[in-house]
Copies of this chain bind each other. A is one copy, B any other.
Amino acid sequence: MTKERLNPISYVIMGALSSMGPATPYDLKQRIGETIAYFWSFSHAQFYEEPPRLVEMGLLTEQKEAFGRRRRVFAITELGQQAVRDWYDEPTTARREIRDLGILKLFFSDHAEPHQIEELIRTQTAVHTAILDELTAKRERYGEREDIGNRPITIELGLLFGQAMVEFWHSLRVREDGRVHRVAKESTNE
């Protein structure tokens, strides 16, 4: 990442520093891991590699702790704030990506055995139910707090998405010939 281009990870880091204050790479990883990683995850190395680059560009400052681990604490500069504002004004045109191996397998399930498809449906229902449960717990913890800006609103979106996914997978039925159909919502109880 040598060129002076700003990517999603750049804005994630600047956004996290701007909304939640100065942080070390590890802090950033934690903050993102508990929040937007529910949608979009980043490897821990990016939180160590990207901030120094943003410092070079004048968008962040770096301060080493005086004692102990002498960790590198990063903070956003006024120039960085401006970069985030400019980003906000850019039209948001890039299409969303939904990268889900379960969907891919379902799409290409023509030559799979019915029992394989049924197994896929079971595990995918379970996976998405588990995410729903996590987010529901999160909402109970953070949903009422007034001091954390607009961040909890994305929990709502995660819940809506999760409900749609569970509803979808749960509504699927496999015929003997391997053909998959959706059944009406009323009859999704087994």
- Residues of A participating in the B interface, judged by any CB pair closer than 8 Å: 8, 11-12, 15-16, 18-19, 35-36, 39-41, 81, 84-85, 87-89, 91-112, 116-117, 120, 123-124, 127, 131, 149-151, 153-154, 156-157, 160-161, 163-165, 167-168, 172, 178-182
Contact = CB atoms under 8 A, between A and B. Distances in A.
Contacts of A117: 150
Chain A binding surface SS class: helix
A60 B115 CA distance: 27
Given A104-B8, A111-B84, A124-B92, A98 B161 contact: yes
A68 to B, nearest CB: 30
B180 A150 contact: yes
A22 to B, nearest CB: 15
A106 B40 contact: no
Nearest to A158: B98
A98 B98 contact: yes
Given A97-B97, A153-B180, A92 B107 contact: no
Contacts of A149: 109-110, 179
B164 A107 contact: no
Q: Which of A91, A98, A154 has the most CB of B within 10 A?
A: A98
A109 B92 CA distance: 14
A52 B117 CA distance: 30
Given A107-B150, A163-B164, A99 B15 contact: no
Nearest to A146: B179
B160 A99 contact: no
Q: Which of A18, A102, A104, A107 has the most CB of B within 10 A?
A: A107
Contacts of A109: 88, 149-150
Given A39-B98, A104-B40, A157 B168 contact: yes
Q: Which of A15, A39, A92 has the most CB of B within 10 A?
A: A92
